A and B are shown apart, each in its own frame.
Chain A
C-alpha cells in the first residue's frame, strides 16, 4: 500500500517535471549573467534591462497583445451567438451543416487556414480594395475565424447546462426576452465567456503559422520575432520576455479560475442542508 503510493508520487513528479521543467529552466536562465543561454555564470537582471530597450521586440509584443485582445473580444461575441443558435434554436434548417462548419477550424491544419486566408485577402484586395495592406487587420480577422470555434465550444457546453426553466421563470415574471438574456442568461454563462475570452487570447498570442501567412511587411507578431531570432541564435532577452509572458499568463489563469469558481458555485456549489 505504502509502496504503491510512493510509486504514484514518483509518476506524478515525472509528469510535472516533463511539463514544467523546461519552463522552469527557461525562467532560471533568464536571470543568467552569461550571454550563452546554456552556461550559468551568475545571477543578473541585465537581460530584462536590455529587453526594455529592444524596440523591435517590444513593438512585436504590443502588436501581439492588441491583436489577441481584439481577437478574443470579437471571438467571444461571435462564438456566443453561434452557441446560442445551436443550443437555443432547435433543429433549424442547415443546423448540421452549420455545426460542422463551425467546428471545422478546430481540426483544420494551421497551414491550410493560413494559406487559404492569404489567398482570400489577396483576392479581396484586388477586387474590392480591402484590406489595403496586410498587418493588424488581416491577422486579427484570421485569428477570429479559428478562435470563435473554440469559444463556441466552451460557451455551448455551459449554455446547454443551464436549466431552461430559469429563463422561463424570468419571462413569467414579466421580463422581455432581451431582459431575460441580459439579466439571467448572460450572468449564468459569464464564466464560460471569460474562459472563452482567455482561450481565444492565448491562441492568438501563441499563433505563428497563420500569422506568418497573413501578415505583411511591418507587422511582426511576437512569435514571429522570437522564431526568427532563435534561428539567429537565442538571446537571453527571449528568456526574459518568455518569463514575463509566463507570469502574465499564470496570473490571468489564476484570476479566471477564481472568478469561475465563485460563479460556478451557484450551480454546483455545496449541497443544501436539510431542515
Chain B
C-alpha cells in the first residue's frame, strides 16, 4: 500500500483523481492555411519535467509559445493552476520562458538581466537584491554578476538565461531547446544538472527538444509530436518499449519492423505471419482482428544470438552478416535475412573484438522473446 501511494505521488498521471496543473484543451493554431498545432490536448502535472519532442516544424515550439502567451491559439483553451490564461498577454502570465537563443539583454549586466523581471513586478529593492543573489547562487554564477552577455561563454549564458527565467519563481517554466546551443560534452553534463535543479526547486518544467536522447534522459513524461499533432504521450520507458505506432518506434532509437498479419490469438499473445516465412509470436494486449495487417517492432538490443536454431520455432530468424559497426561498448550488426530486409542486432562486446566469432559474410541465427517487442496495428 505504501508503495502504491508513493508511486502515485511520483506518477500523478496514473492517478485518476489528480488535478492537472497545466491543461491544454483542444488547442489549434493556424498560420494562414497551415496547421502549426492541430487539435492538441494535454494534461501536465505539478512538478513534472515534461518534454515536447519532434522534428523541426512539427509545432512543438508553437505550442510552447502559446503557453507563454507569445502566440494566441486559433481555438482551444489553456489552463494553468486552474485558471484560464488563454487570453492573457505574456506579461500577465505566471509563466516564464527560457529562449533558445537565451535572449539575454546585451546592454545589461548579468545581475541586471536577472533583476529585470523582479523590477517589473515592483519588488522592493532589498528583497530584489536577495532574490538575485539567491538565483546567482543557485546557478553558481555569482562571480559573473558584473559581466555583460558578450563576455560570457555559451554555458555561462545558458545559466544566466535560466537564472533570469527562474527569478520570478514562476509556476511553470518553459524551455525552448535549453541545451541546443551547447556543445556535446557540455550538453551531457548540463542535462543532469537541469534535472537536479528542477527536482530541487520543484517548478514544473516543459521543454521543447528535437533531441530524443535529451528528452529520454531528462523527462518524467514526453509527448512525441508530428505535423502539429501529438502522436504519443508516455514516460520515456513507455515511449521506448511500447511505441503506439511506427512513427514513434522509428523516431526514438532504432527498430526492426516486420510487416505481417495476425493469424492466431493465444491468450495475450498473437501469432503474426510475415513474408519472411516463419511466424512470430508476440505479446499483444490490445484486441486485434484475425487477418488484420500489423507491424512487429523489435529493438536491436532485444535481438540475441540463437544457440539452437530449429526450423519450426517462432521468433527465430537466420541471415548473413552484412555490416558491423564497432562502437566500443557494443557492436551493431546488420544481418540480411531476405533480399528486402535487414535485421539490426546490437550485442554487448563482452569479449574483446579480436576474439569475437562474428564476422562479415557469416551466417547467424537470431531470436527474441515474445515480450521484447510490440505489435503495431497499421
Contacts and interface: CB of A to CB of B under 8 A. Distances in A.
Contacts of A247: none
Contact of A266 (B90, B95, B99, B148): B148
Contact of A188 (B92, B107, B121, B150): B107
Contacts of A266: 106-107, 148-150
B225 interface: no
A50 interface: no
A194 to B, nearest CB: 14
A272 interface: yes
Contact of B96 (A172, A184, A273): A172
A141 interface: no
Contact of B103 (A166, A174, A270): A166
A229 to B, nearest CB: 47
Contacts of A168: 70, 90, 99, 103
Contacts of A184: 105
Contacts of A173: 91, 96, 116-117, 120, 164-165, 168
A272 B154 contact: yes
Contacts of A183: 116
A179 B120 contact: yes
Given A166-B103, A272-B150, A274-B154, A171 B89 contact: yes
Given A166-B105, A267-B106, A275-B155, A174 B120 contact: yes
Contacts of B101: 163, 165
B55 to A, nearest CB: 21
Interface in B196-226: none
Interface string A165-197: 110111111111001000110011000000000
A270 B150 contact: yes
A269 B96 CA distance: 28
A173 B121 CA distance: 9
Contact of B91 (A166, A175, A265, A267): A175
A179 B90 CA distance: 13
B120 A172 contact: no
Select the residue from A173, A184, A188 with max chain B CB neighbours within 10 A.
A173
B99 A165 contact: yes
Contacts of B95: 172
B80 interface: no
Contacts of A265: 150
A146 to B, nearest CB: 31
B41 interface: no
Determine the main DSSP class of A at the interface with B: helix
Select the residue from A170, A172, A188 with max chain B CB neighbours within 10 A.
A172
Interface in A43-78: none
A23 interface: no
B119 to A, nearest CB: 9
A170 B69 CA distance: 13
Select the residue from A169, A183, A275 with max chain B CB neighbours within 10 A.
A169
Contacts of A176: 91
Contacts of B152: 272
Contacts of A163: 101, 103
A188 B106 contact: yes
B156 interface: yes
A174 B89 CA distance: 9
Contact of A275 (B92, B148, B156): B156
B68 interface: yes
A14 to B, nearest CB: 39
Contacts of A169: 97, 99, 103, 105, 164
A76 to B, nearest CB: 19
A211 B264 CA distance: 96
A263 interface: yes
Contacts of A270: 150-151
B161 to A, nearest CB: 9
Nearest to B157: A272
Contacts of A267: 106, 150
Nearest to A188: B107
Contacts of A187: 107
A187 B95 CA distance: 26
Interface in B106-125: 106-107, 116-117, 120-121
Contacts of B92: 174
Interface of B: 68-70, 89-92, 95-97, 99-101, 103, 105-107, 116-117, 120-121, 148-157, 164-165, 168, 183, 186
Given A169-B103, A173-B120, A269-B150, 17 more contacts: A165-B103, A166-B105, A168-B90, A170-B105, A172-B69, A172-B96, A172-B97, A172-B165, A173-B117, A173-B168, A174-B121, A183-B116, A265-B150, A270-B150, A272-B152, A272-B154, A275-B155
Top 8 closest A-B pairs, CB basis? A173-B117, A266-B106, A174-B120, A169-B103, A269-B150, A165-B103, A275-B153, A171-B90
